[in-house]
Amino acid sequence: MTNTTASNPTCGIFDHFDDSGRNITEQYADRLVLAEAYDRLGFYAYHLAEHHCTPHGGRPSPNVFLSSVIQRTRRLRVNQLVMLLNLYHPLRAFEEICMLDHLSNGRLEVGIGRGSLPMELTYFDVNPDVASSRYEEASQILVNAMNGGVLNYRGQHFVLDDVPLTLPSHQRPHPPTWVATNRPESAGWAAANGANLACVGPSSVVRKVTDVFRAHGNLRRPADGGDLFIALLRMIVIGRSEAEAYLLAAPACERWLTNFKFLYEMNDIPLPANLPPTFEAAIASELCVVGTRASVRQIVLQHLEEAGANYLLCQPAFGNLSVDAAINTASAIHSEFIAPGG
């Protein structure tokens, strides 16, 4: 991996796959078409979120969908961002990770997290009161398993005695790992464990997290010795004019917000304080970047520099944006950020 800076970021794709109103089978097919385009355009990786029982998460099993993505692509790496470990037995999670790593011929990256909405966990009979401790145990077991050998662990939630790990990962010592967080303490854990970092939010807020991440010193990936990625998420729409881009982005963002709020409103749960309530607020909070190729490039580079990030995690497909609109944005990002650096 080459070193990257804010002026020469590595570019990846993030996907929530929220409901666009179309037939779900057609939406799956559309996303696979987009994955082929991302591969063709030279994006580094395709990062897929996991959500349940909500129109905000139409692919509740990321590993199933990613197994289709790797069959339709050749270079594009794939990543669960994040795999909700509280909904998996960590041994089963490890085995699925190893399978995907082999099926992709070593193109897998592994994102882990506890989840942001406790309601999703309760549907699977996981008590939110123990979610934090359960996740900590599961993540430690997964780290231990990726180091190979016989697996032993005794904790409050999991007990494993002399488990033979007969299926190793394809990549050595293991696939690169990711943590998505806006909390400085989680950033510290990620850096200490050699995991890449993904953040969302205003650049000035993200900078507090990335400063903690960098303060841990040696930020090298164990697998290849390259720099760890510090990713900044932005929903991006690029048009031939500012007006065209805004006409495309506004209804798509409103649809995305409606899908995002579904479980919160159904269960009378306060919305996250950092969730922009409107499209205009999404622009102001830096969640969305909308405009022409030139204006988006300028804004994105400024955000990356201020946030201390070296990886642009862009989301060109959300809400009810068409496949053509998403491909046009991805192609423009390729021209502005990927093609100039080869």
Q: Has residue 107 been placed in a domain?
A: yes
Q: Measured between alpha carbons, how far is residue 49 from residues 57, 100, 202, 243, 268 in Å? A: 8, 16, 20, 30, 23
Phi, psi of 73 (to 5 degrees): -130, 170
Q: Has residue 266 been placed in a domain?
A: yes
Range with the poorest average pLDDT among 4-13, 93-102, 144-153: 4-13
Q: Has residue 112 been placed in a domain?
A: yes
- The CATH number of whichever domain residue 219 belongs to comes to 3.20.20.30
- The single-letter code of the amino acid at 284 is A
Residue 32 scores a pLDDT above 80: yes
**Which pTM value belongs to this model?**
0.95
**Residue % of the chain over a pLDDT of 90:** 85
3-class state of residue 138 by DSSP: helix
pLDDT, one tens digit per residue, over 181-220 is: 998 888 988 888 889 999 999 999 999 999 999 998 667 7
Residue 4 scores a pLDDT above 60: no
pLDDT band of 340, cuts 50, 70, 90: low
pLDDT, one tens digit per residue, over 305-333 is: 999 999 999 999 999 999 999 999 999 99
What is the residue whose two structure tokens read 């807020």? 205
Residue 267 lies in domain? 10-341
What integer pLDDT is reported at residue 7 of this predicted model?
67
pLDDT, one tens digit per residue, over 104-131 is: 999 999 999 888 788 999 999 999 999 9
Residue 338 scores a pLDDT above 90: yes
Q: Has residue 3 been placed in a domain?
A: no
Q: Has residue 2 been placed in a domain?
A: no
**Which distant-in-sequence residues (6+ apart) come within 8 Å of 340 by Cβ?**
none
The domain tally of the chain equals 1
**Which distant-in-sequence residues (6+ apart) come within 8 Å of 275 by Cβ?**
257, 260, 261
pLDDT, mean of residues 8-26: 94
